Each structure stands twice: as structure tokens, then as C-alpha cells.
């Protein structure tokens, strides 16, 4: 069995490795360059839930491939990608509030003031949404500093 300190140290090392690998990225994408792990960003708004996109409906935007569940969702995104794309390039909103770029679970999400925010855990996005003014302000400031300025 691992000692608690060893487990904590391993977790920190994994996070640092993940952060370093994503440091210069504008959009959080997987190994196939898919944004949001292939989920449809428009569906969060129109369907009120995450839905996986399909290869038939794809668009490249900010060097990432965005997938959609329908031609209509693709059309809506193409018309106004900033409206539908998740904040902070799809990196975890809570981690961004702390100055880190961390990948997400597309099932962990919330919409605040018409903007999509993702997280790497459902309980953490709920915590982020409990104090949206402060958390969004922190995340916005960090995104300006580390997000798209690299």
C-alpha cells in the first residue's frame, strides 16, 4: 500500500504533467484534436445536456475539431462559435480560477450568464457555480494571464 504522502505526491506529479502538456494550447483537445472530447457544444444550450457529436458534422475552429450531433447545431456554431464554445478553451473552469489548465469531463458542466463552463468533476463545477461572480472573475483574470497569451 502507498503511504498517504506518496499518493498525494503522485497526484501532484500527474497534475503538473497534465498542466505542462497543455500549457500552450488555446483549446483543450484530445489526441485526435477533438475539442470537448467530441461532445457537441451547442447541445448544452439547446438540449440542456451533453450529447456526443458525430464525425459527419465537424468544423475546425482555433486548431481544434468541434463535433456536433446535427447539421443544425453545426450551422449555429459556425454562425457564432464564441456563443457556444466553452469558456477558457474548454479547460476546467475551477482549475482556471486557481491558475491551472486542466482537462475536463464533458459531463461536468454548467451555464452561467449564457456561457458554458466545464470542469473535471461534477462536484467541482457545482462548487464553482455557487460563487459565480468571484470564481468567474478569478478564472477570467487567469485566462488573460496564462490562457491565450502563450
pLDDT tens track for 108-143: 999 999 999 999 999 999 999 999 999 999 999 999
C-alpha cell at 79: 454562425
Element (H, E) at 66: strand 64-68
Residue range 58-74, pLDDT digits in tens: 999 999 999 999 999 99
Residue range 74-113, pLDDT digits in tens: 999 999 999 999 999 999 999 999 999 999 999 999 999 9
The 3-state DSSP class for residue 41 equals coil
Domain ranges of the chain: 1-26+86-150, 31-80
Residue 20 confidence (pLDDT) above 60: no
Residue range 42-61, pLDDT digits in tens: 999 999 999 999 999 999 99
Model confidence at 25, in pLDDT bands (50, 70, 90)? confident
For residue 24, what pLDDT is reported? Answer: 57
For residue 118, list its beta bridge partners: 109
Across the chain, the runs of DSSP E, i.e. the strands, are 54-61, 64-68, 105-112, 115-119
Amino acid at each position: 500500500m502507498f503511504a498517504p504522502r506518496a499518493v498525494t505526491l503522485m497526484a501532484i506529479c500527474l497534475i503538473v504533467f497534465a498542466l505542462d502538456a497543455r500549457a500552450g494550447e488555446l483549446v483543450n483537445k484530445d489526441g485526435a484534436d477533438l475539442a470537448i472530447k467530441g461532445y457537441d457544444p451547442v447541445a448544452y444550450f439547446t438540449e440542456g445536456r451533453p450529447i456526443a457529436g458525430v464525425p459527419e458534422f465537424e468544423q475546425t475552429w482555433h486548431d481544434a475539431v468541434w463535433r456536433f450531433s446535427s447539421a443544425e447545431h453545426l450551422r449555429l456554431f459556425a454562425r457564432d462559435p464564441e456563443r457556444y464554445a466553452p469558456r477558457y478553451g474548454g479547460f476546467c473552469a475551477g482549475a482556471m480560477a486557481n491558475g491551472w489548465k486542466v482537462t475536463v469531463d464533458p459531463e461536468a458542466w454548467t451555464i452561467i450568464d449564457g456561457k458554458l463552463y466545464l470542469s473535471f468533476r461534477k462536484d467541482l463545477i457545482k462548487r464553482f457555480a455557487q460563487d459565480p461572480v468571484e470564481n468567474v472573475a478569478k478564472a477570467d483574470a487567469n485566462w488573460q494571464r496564462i490562457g491565450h497569451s502563450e
